[in-house]
Amino acid sequence: MDILHNLFNLGTLVAGIRIATPILLAGLGGLHTMQANILNIGMEGMMLFGAFSAVLVSYYTGSIIFATIAAILVGVLAAVIFGLFGVKFKCNIIVAGIAINLFGVAFTIYLLRSIFHVRGALSHPKIVGFPVMDFPVLSSLPYIGELFKGHSIIVYVAFLMVFLVHLFLYRTPKGLHIRSVGEHAEAAASVGISPDRIRFQAVMISGFFCGLAGAYLSLAQTRMFVENMVAGRGFIALAAIYFGGGTPVGTMLAALLFGFAEAVSLRLQTLGFPSQFVLMTPYLMTVFILIIISYVKKVHSQKRKYEIA
Amino acid sequence: MKKNFKLLALCLSLVMLLGLIAGCGGGQEPAKDSKEGTKEGTKDAKKFKVAYVISNNLGDKSFFDSGYAGLERAKAELGIEYKVIQSPNSADWEPNLKAAAEEDYDLIIAAASQMHDAVKNVAPQFPDKKFVYIDDVVEGNNVASITFAQNEGSFLAGALAALMTTHTELPGMNKEKIIGWVGGADIAVLHDFLIGYEQGAKYVDPETKVLSSFAGSFSDPAKGKELTLAQYSQGADIVMNVASATGVGILEAAKDAGKYAIGVDSDQDGIYPGHILSSMLKRVDNACFDQIKLAMENKWKSGHFEYGLKNKGVGLTEMTVMGDKIPQEVRNKLKDIEAKISSGEIVVKHYENFGVKK
């Protein structure tokens, strides 16, 4: 009982929200590319670029607003490069994604050394982080109020974005275009939508969100830049999108699930479970749930077959 | 959809590969040619010459810079001449080492552990040259292998944490006898740290509970921070960092939560003043200086030597940043423990025979 209380308390949920936020932000971007039928594995690199530029601008200007803008712009720029090769010049989209990821790691290391003359990690009092705040009204609720307290401002922004993205995708013409290009590009083209143009725009939107996710990692969750600090979160985000069926709300639920699973696993280790096993749990869970999803889909489609027959 | 899954699987396996490459560190950086360090102006045949061949660049504010400081000290106190040959590119290590051996250096110091194969291949080709290999063991008649007793240093860190965890007069300390430890990847050398830390804590107070976790990575500060915050929420008030760049997140967690951490390898006390009790140092400088001195006095021997508390290879900082927040009685107790370890009265355990081979 004591162990259960140790694992599943409000603090674990709060930590889960913190861990889920970068996955959610990147996922919200990546679902646009998924809806446009582009497999965007370059999110990792875009986040890393965002994280670095956020720290760079925060260090030199001391302004969190400029830092956020810089992270977003650089994220979009990285996405443009990805889109140029993957969409416009039609090279293999996987190769373009891997290229962005490798380039991101190497180039940020290079810049870290040449601008700051440090190896490995940069943390400095001059790096200004995102302010922390309580969410109005909700934070004063009894018991669950704790969940809406003391987060960095960008956490609330991320969750509000879920609804904005939902409105954008399902209630605006542009959202419809993105979905139609993903569903059937030729059909979309036949009614005068340029599929490549829409795909490119979807890639740029993913860059916007990845830049923001990077800024969250380097200025909210921590206040530092470390070589390769995204550490696979871009890929977890990709899994979260698949998991959530490409919808904003589904992606949010998946990101939260990952976040809580990780928060629990961080606490499991101290209870004496072997670290190798515990570190595996979020990934194991991903595989497990993907299996369930595809099984349900299979059963569903078989049922339909019988109905037709 | 099915095709996408296949692609996803492909990508995920590629990421793992990528992570592996990145994890090995420094693979992506541009190769730097061997670069001359500060060198004595004129060539003096009588001067003792040392080559410092390292598997990365200087400027890490830790391991390699510490060795460099030892050379500087030897230059000032013993009047040696030295050259630094640095390259982060693994393809350069063996040629660099060989080049140094072919020249007229009296002593060749190779650091760090990744140079293992280079030392193993080059040293037998030059039987009359003296090699010093730091951080792992290579056997040979002309190789002195130096390792550090991180377990002894960690014993002191664990003792310090156990002594301080009940000092509730410091803000953020709770009365529970729980302390924490967060490591990077789950590897043998880190377990050697952990085993010493636990033993040190239990030596001071057998009731002390040590929480330990691994981040599984040396470059994920966000995870290091979350792990540390999780340990604080489970009652720990002091967490030892043994996690390189992941550890910067550990130290930041101490500051953000208003709790305490212990640094590692180099002096990290000043990073977040008032939140870092002390740092466990690996004194590469002392080991290098010592080996140079032995060689100059013709007392140099090949074999495996462990630098522990006795020969000042490891230790804690003087805790000047914390100042009088660390009570004198705690300092005295630590000095007492240090003396007992040096004299052999306390035997610090190694992780499954990690360390000196008898």
| DSSP secondary structure letters along B28-65 | SSPP---------SS--TTS-EEEEEESS-S--SSHHH
Residue of B3, B7, B8, B57 to mutate, interface with A, max A Cβ within 10 Å: B8
Q: Is there a contact between B29 and A101 if contact means CB atoms under 8 Å apart?
A: no
Cβ <8 Å between B230 and A262: no
Q: Are A185 and A55 in contact (CB under 8 A)?
A: no
**In this predicted structure, what is the pLDDT of residue A176?**
95
Contacts of A174 (CB under 8 A, 6+ apart): A168, A201
Q: What is the pLDDT of residues B114-131, one digit of tens each?
A: 889 999 999 999 999 999
Q: For residue B13, count CB atoms less than 10 angstroms from its CB and return exposed for 0-12, middle for 13-18, buried for 19 or more.
A: exposed
Yes or no, beta carbons of B29 and A109 under 8 Å apart: yes
B212 interfacial to chain A (CB closer than 8 Å): yes
What's the longest Cα–Cα distance across chain A?
69
Instruction: Give the Cα separation of B214 and B41 in Å (integer).
Output: 48
Q: Indicate the residue of B15, B180, B252 with minimum beta-carbon distance to A232.
A: B15
Evaluate whether residue A299 is within a structural domain: no
Let me know if residue A291 belongs to a domain.
no
Cβ <8 Å between A238 and B8: yes
Q: Is A292 a domain residue?
A: no
Mutation target among B3, B15, B60 for the A interface, most CBs of A within 10 A: B15
**Chain B residue with the nearest C-alpha to that of A275:** B214
* B window 225-264, beta carbon within 8 A of A: 225-227, 229-231, 233-234, 244-246, 248-249, 252
**Interface ipTM:** 0.88
Answer yes or no: is A304 within a domain: no
Beta pairing partners, B131: B108, B143
- Residue with tokens 């993205």, as numbered in its chain: A165
Owning domain of residue A135? 2-277
In a domain, A297, yes or no: no
Q: Are A18 and B226 in contact (CB under 8 A)?
A: yes
With cut-offs at 50, 70 and 90, classify the pLDDT of residue A237. Answer: very high
Could you tell me which residues come within 8 angstroms of residue A60 by beta carbon, excluding any fewer than 6 positions away?
none
Highest mean pLDDT among A284-288, A303-307, B13-17, B289-293: B289-293
Mean pLDDT score of chain A = 91
CA-nearest of B282, B238, B246 to B150 is: B282
Q: CA-CA distance, A210 to A259, in Å (whole number)?
A: 17
Chain B positions touching A242 (Cβ under 8 A) are: 4, 8
With a CB cutoff of 8 Å and minimum separation 6, the contacts of B159 are B200, B201, B203, B204, B333, B334, B337
CB atoms closer than 10 angstroms to residue B117: 12
Confidence of residue A149 (pLDDT cuts 50, 70, 90): confident
pLDDT attached to residue A178: 96
3-state secondary structure of B107: strand
pLDDT of residue A297: 83
**Selected residue with higher pLDDT from B137 and B29:** B137
Contact criterion met (CB below 8 Å) for B270 and B278: no
Amino acid B101 reads: A
Q: How many CA atoms lie less than 13 Å away from B349 in the CB half-sphere?
A: 12
Residues of chain B positioned with their CB less than 8 A from the CB of A235 = 11-12, 15
Q: Which residues on B lie below 8 Å from A226 (Cβ)?
A: 219-221, 245-246, 248-249
Q: Are A20 and A220 in contact (CB under 8 A)?
A: no
For B188, residues 6+ apart whose C-beta sits below 8 A from its C-beta are: B351, B352, B354
- Judged against a pLDDT cut of 90, whether residue B28 lies above it is answered with no
Q: What local confidence, expressed as pLDDT, does residue A290 receive?
A: 77
Q: What distance in Å separates residue B44's CA from the closest CA in chain A?
A: 34
Is there a contact between B10 and A94 if contact means CB atoms under 8 Å apart? yes
Provide the total of helices (H) and of strands (E) in chain B, helices listed first.
10, 12
Is residue A289 within a helix (H) or strand (E), and if so which, with residue range? helix A275-308
Q: How many A×B Cβ pairs under 8 Å?
A: 132
For residue B355, pLDDT beyond 70: no
Rg (CA), chain A: 20
Mutate to test the interface with A, among B212, B231, B248 (most CBs of A within 10 A): B248
Count of domains for chain A = 1
The whole-angstrom distance between B240's CA and the closest CA on chain A is 14
Average predicted confidence (pLDDT) for chain B: 86
* Per-residue pLDDT at A1: 53
So what's the pLDDT on residue B34? 42
User: Can you tell me the mean pLDDT for B212-236?
Assistant: 93
Q: Which CATH number does the domain housing residue A227 bear?
A: 1.10.3470
- Nearest-by-Cβ selection for B19 from A22, A226, A232: A232
Closest by Cβ to A231, choosing from B28, B211, B217: B217
- The phi and psi torsions of B29 (rounded to 5 degrees) equal -70, 150
Confidence of residue B6 (pLDDT cuts 50, 70, 90): low
**Whether the predicted pLDDT of B23 surpasses 90:** no
User: To which residue do tokens 């490409």 refer?
Assistant: A246
Rounded Cα distance between A118 and A53, Å, is 16
Among A120, A222, A262, beta carbon nearest to B225: A222
Q: What six digits make up the tokens of B198?
A: 């636990």
Cβ contact B180–A270 (<8 Å): yes
Candidate from B266-270, B281-285, B310-314, B352-356 with smallest mean pLDDT? B352-356
Instruction: Provide long-range contacts, Cβ within 8 A and 24+ apart, for A164-169.
Output: A165/A28, A165/A31, A165/A32, A165/A248, A166/A247, A166/A248, A166/A249, A169/A32, A169/A35, A169/A247, A169/A248
Closest chain A C-alpha to B142 CA, distance in angstroms: 33
DSSP state of A89: S
Instruction: Return the number of other C-beta atoms located less than 10 Å from residue A243's C-beta.
Output: 21
Which helix (H) or strand (E) segment holds residue B263: the answer is strand B260-265
**Roughly how many angstroms between the first and final C-alpha of chain B, as a whole number?**
60
Task: Return the percentage of chain A with pLDDT > 70, whole number.
Answer: 98
User: Which domains occur in chain B, in start order?
Assistant: 49-148+285-307 (3.40.50.2300), 150-281+327-343 (3.40.50.2300)
Would you say residue A300 lies in a domain? no
Question: Does the residue A68 lie in any domain?
Answer: yes
In chain A, pLDDT over 90 holds for what percent of residues? 68
Q: Per the CB < 8 Å rule, is A120 touching B245? A: yes
For the cut 50, the answer to whether the pLDDT of residue A249 exceeds it is yes
| First-last CA distance in chain A | 53
Shortest distance between the Cα of B211 and any Cα of chain A, in A, equals 5
In the prediction, which pLDDT does B179 show? 96
Is the pLDDT at B17 greater than 80, yes or no?
A: no
Give the lowest-confidence range in A43-52, A214-223, A294-303, B233-242. A294-303
- Does residue A162 lie within any of the structural domains? yes
Which among A22, A119, A266 has the least Cβ separation from residue B227? A266
| Whether the Cβ atoms of residue B182 and residue A266 lie closer than 8 Å to each other | no
Q: Is A304's pLDDT higher than 80?
A: no
